[in-house]
Amino acid sequence: MPLQRRARLRGIVSPHVVHASPYGVLNGLAEGDLEAYLGGWYPVLTDMVEPLVADGKVVKAAANIQGATSGLVVPRYVHEAGITSVADLDAHRERFDDTIQGIEAGTGINIAIGEAVDQDLAGLGDWSLRESSTAAMLAQAEKKMRDGEWVTFVGWEPHWMNVSFDLVYLEDADGAGIADIESTVWTVVPATLEDEDPDLYRFMSQYVVDTADQNDWVHAYSYEERPAEEVASEWIREHYDTVEAWLEGVEARDGRPAMEAVKAHFADPRRTQ
């Protein structure tokens, strides 16, 4: 998730969020219009980010999530019926309507699936990729699972799908590179940020999140549709030790340790969230 330019950590504020494709976000970072991108998924975005790193336009401040999983998933009842690998899909393609449910066009995983189909890897040459928005893909998948139908689609964690649905990540096959992808998610920032705002850079370099926590956040916000501030505030109050590690050595706008400002903020009786 990218943070809008000038959304400073020094103030206890809710940063504005920019929704855009990875291409647009990374270009914004390179041009100095954005300050941080928390969604630098590797290896999916490696070819997009590394050239900018090599050109000295952006830096990877921290691996904010490590050991995340992405790739094709199936419902557990499909897995228990014998579909454990991408190699198992084609023998049952009629049950899947010869279709892989994908996400937004231009994303790394969609490109990889398209290449696997074009090259007939793992027997997918007769399959098609249905590109869609993430929300539409999950709505379609949820309907099929509710009806007990077979479906395979793009999954990843952290995401609320891992909380709401009983899913299994498929093993890869034939070097297709579309399943069982162990990912690292990097925080990507402009190369100038450390000099321009050392406190913001320090926070970004220390912000590392447990995948299970992120699954819960996304489930509460995106699936349960609870207000973001409510979800964040509840979690922060219950995890001061983690927040303190993120803010070690970071100053608030008034010069006091940032953690002191956080605790004072949440101790204010006027705040209901």
Residue 14: band (very low, low, confident or very high) from pLDDT cuts 50, 70, 90? very low
* Residues 127, 90 contacting (CB under 8 angstroms): yes
Torsion angle of alpha carbons 219, 47, 137, 29, nearest 10°?
60
**Closest to 78 in 3D by CA, of 122, 144, 10:** 144
First to last CA, the chain: 22
The mean pLDDT of 237-248, rounded to a whole number, is 96
Q: What is the pLDDT of residues 44-54, one digit of tens each?
A: 789 999 999 99
Query: Can you tell me whether residue 72 is helix, strand or coil?
Result: strand
Residue type, 265: H
pLDDT of residue 19: 53
253 versus 92: which is more confidently predicted?
92
pLDDT of residue 134: 92
Residue 218: band (very low, low, confident or very high) from pLDDT cuts 50, 70, 90? confident
- List the single range of 4-18, 104-118, 192-206 with lowest mean pLDDT: 4-18
pLDDT of residue 11: 30
Please write down the long-range contacts of 211-215, taking CB distance under 8 Å and 24 or more positions apart.
211/65, 211/67, 211/68, 211/157, 211/158, 212/158, 213/158, 213/239, 214/65, 214/157, 214/158, 215/157, 215/158, 215/159, 215/160, 215/162, 215/163
Confidence check: pLDDT of 106 > 90: no
pLDDT of residue 15: 35
Q: For each of the domains in the chain, give its residue range(s) and CATH number, in order of start.
A: 2-67+183-210+229-267 (3.40.190.10), 70-182 (3.40.190.100)
pLDDT of residue 67: 84
pLDDT of residue 20: 64
The mean pLDDT of 212-224, rounded to a whole number, is 88
Q: How high does pLDDT run on average in the chain?
A: 89
What's the CA gap between 123 and 91, in Å, rounded?
Answer: 9
Residue 13: band (very low, low, confident or very high) from pLDDT cuts 50, 70, 90? very low
Taking only Cα atoms into account, the Rg of the chain, rounded to an integer number of angstroms, comes to 20
pLDDT of residue 196: 94
Confidence check: pLDDT of 86 > 70: yes
What's the CA gap between 101 and 135, in Å, rounded?
Answer: 12
How distant is the alpha carbon of residue 225 from its chain centre? Answer: 18
pLDDT of residue 269: 63
Burial of 247 (0-12, 13-18, 19+ CB in 10 A): buried
The bridge status of strand 2-4 relative to strand 128-130 is unpaired
Q: What's the whole-model pTM score? A: 0.71
Query: Can you tell me whether residue 151 is helix, strand or coil?
Result: coil
Q: What is the pLDDT of residues 136-170, one digit of tens each?
A: 999 999 999 999 999 999 999 888 899 899 999 99
Q: Note if the bond before 269 is cis, omega within 30 degrees.
A: no
**Closest to 73 in 3D by CA, of 87, 91, 85:** 85
